[in-house]
Amino acid sequence: MLEKFTWYKQSAYKWKGDGVTMYIDPWGLKANEEPADIIFITHAHADHFEPEDIEKVRKSSTQFVAPKDVAEKLKGNVKAIKPGDSGDAAGIKYQAVPAYNTAPHRLQAHPKSNNWVGYILNLDGQRYWFSGDTDPNPDIEQVKTDVALVCIGGDPYVMNASEAAGLVKKIRPQLAVPNHYGFVVGVQSDGEKFAKEAAPVKVQIMKPVNAFEMTEAKAH
């Protein structure tokens, strides 16, 4: 289910399918990446919306789907969306899912009022949910997805491995994939912790293109 994906770092992925190259929150891209047919952005923080990385893969026909505050900073074929919106871009059906914090000490990181998002994307007949930066919340507990790619890095920005594990046990995807750890927040072993605590949900831990920056040795 992940064969067509490349994980760069944090929440940045490439998916290469039937004549379509898609990126989501591109960050940590190499210089000679394949040009993007479509780029999805979840929110305005620099580890998700990085103009320099976008320029590495942008072509004149690249389509963008992004929340309003990000869409206003992009030029070209740009679709501004808010939570609950759905549509089709470059042949990929998408649904924008709310992404926001609920833990009192994290509320200011991703306020619900910002209208930031995650996405459910239909790829090869499967539903893939990219959580964006979020805590468990009533909106995403309703998500129906085959694959859940979820942030697990913890304070001060997003849910931690245990909270994310509890969430995927509620939504019960066929497969859960941790991200947003080992860079900026969270340490490399958080992936294993998430896998253990998410049982019986199956978890696949991907290897990022970029080396993990936050390891136990550096964290202590």
Crossing angle of helices 190-198 and 161-171, in 10° steps, is 30
Question: What is the pLDDT at residue 215?
Answer: 86
Q: Note the pLDDT of residue 18.
A: 82
Distance in angstroms (rounded) separating the CA atoms of residues 83 and 18 = 27
Biggest CA–CA distance in the chain, Å, is 46
Provide the pLDDT confidence category of residue 193 given band limits of 50, 70 and 90.
Answer: very high
pTM, entire model: 0.97
Pair of tokens at residue 179:
């991200």
Q: Domains, the chain, ranges and CATH?
A: 5-208 (3.60.15.10)
Mean pLDDT of 87-93: 97
Q: How far is CA 11 from CA 1, 18, 45, 150, in A?
A: 17, 22, 12, 8
List, in order, residues 6 or more apart from 53 with CB less than 8 Å away: 12, 26, 27, 28, 29
Strands (E), the chain: 5-9, 12-17, 20-24, 38-40, 63-67, 77-81, 86-89, 92-98, 117-123, 126-130, 147-151, 175-179
Residue 201 has pLDDT above 80, yes or no: yes
Phi-psi domain of 97 (left: phi exceeds 0; alpha: psi -120 through 50; beta: other): beta
pLDDT at residue 205 in the model: 98
pLDDT in tens, 114-162: 999 999 999 999 999 999 999 999 999 999 999 999 999 999 999 999 9
Taken as a whole, the chain contains a residue count of 220
Q: Please state, in angstroms and as integers, the Cα–Cα distance from residue 175 to each residue in 16, 17, 148, 168, 178, following that order.
A: 19, 19, 6, 9, 10
Tens-digit pLDDT profile for residues 167-192: 999 999 999 999 999 999 999 999 99
Report the percent of the chain where pLDDT is more than 70: 98
- Give Cα separations from 28 to 9, 47, 62, 144, 183 (angstroms): 6, 9, 19, 29, 11
CA gap 115, 220 in Å, rounded: 35
Q: Residue 147 in 3-state DSSP?
A: strand
β-bridge pairing 126-130 and 86-89: unpaired
Structure tokens at 213: 């920056």
| In the chain, % of residues over pLDDT 90 | 96
